[in-house]
Amino acid sequence: MVNEREFLMEIKSRFGKAVMGFVVIAAGALLVMPMAAQNRRAQSRPIVDLPGGAVRQVILDSCTSCHGIDDYAYFAMDKQGWQKIIDSMKEKGAVISDSNQSLLLDWLVTKFGPDSKPYPKIRTRPILTFGDVAARDAAAKQFTAFVCRTCHTLERVDNSSFTEAEWRDVLTDMKGKGADIADEDIPPLVEYFTRTHGKN
């Protein structure tokens, strides 16, 4: 027959092992969960870390006030290709000195040059032509947030007011400038913007 002292010692031992096991499992979870979260994030979008050195401040001063830097990973271009991107940003209002532009170009070509592997663009397109009006409007808002704000603020869209023909011209022009708009997206978007941001 087990005496009371031995019984208490056994309980204490089992309790200690259980606590230790829980601590090991919890610590393992803390280590694994962030990595899993990073892997999930990496599957949908690239992750580009802000560099150190002088180019870091150039990016903070001239780039990140309008957009993030993760999208750089979608490209693998030479100096001329990146120069065109910078020129297009300057046309949209970006301010960068010649010396800072040189620093930025060197970093871009080193990090995302023609020998690098671009991150695959995977896009889930909102369905703009199916469902009731509320569903189509929700899809159009999602589309606008996804596509339009890659180049400018959504406030610019919200403050716009055009006729049907003008909205068609605006969307066609944006598509020509590189906006990710398919031909089949234009009619439902024209209908949505004319109804919600029309001149009347």
State how far the Cα of 86 lies from the Cα of 101, in Å rounded to an integer: 8
Give tens-digit pLDDT for 146-155: 888 777 888 8
Domain pair 54-112 / 133-197, same fold:
yes
Q: Phi-psi region for residue 165, left (φ > 0), alpha (ψ -120 to 50) or beta?
A: alpha
* Distance (Å, whole) CA 136 – CA 129: 7
Fold of 54-112: Cytochrome Bc1 Complex; Chain D, domain 2 (1.10.760)
The one-character DSSP state at 45 is S
Are the CB atoms for 139 and 126 separated by under 8 Å?
yes
Give yes or no for a contact between 191 and 183, defined as CB atoms under 8 angstroms apart: no
pLDDT of residue 42: 40
DSSP 199: -
pLDDT at position 187 is 92
Radius of gyration over every alpha carbon of the chain, rounded to an integer in angstroms: 27
> How many C-beta atoms surround the C-beta of residue 135 within 10 A?
13
Query: What SS3 state is found at 198?
Result: strand
Q: Give the tokens for residue 35.
A: 């990595």
* pTM of model > 0.75: no
pLDDT, residue 7, reads: 47
Sites in the chain below the pLDDT cut of 70: 1-44, 122-125, 200
**Domain boundaries defined on the chain:** 1-44, 54-112, 133-197
Q: What is the pLDDT of residue 154?
A: 83
Query: What pLDDT is recorded for position 156?
Result: 87
What is the CATH class of 133-197?
A: mainly alpha
Residues facing 162 on adjacent strands: 198
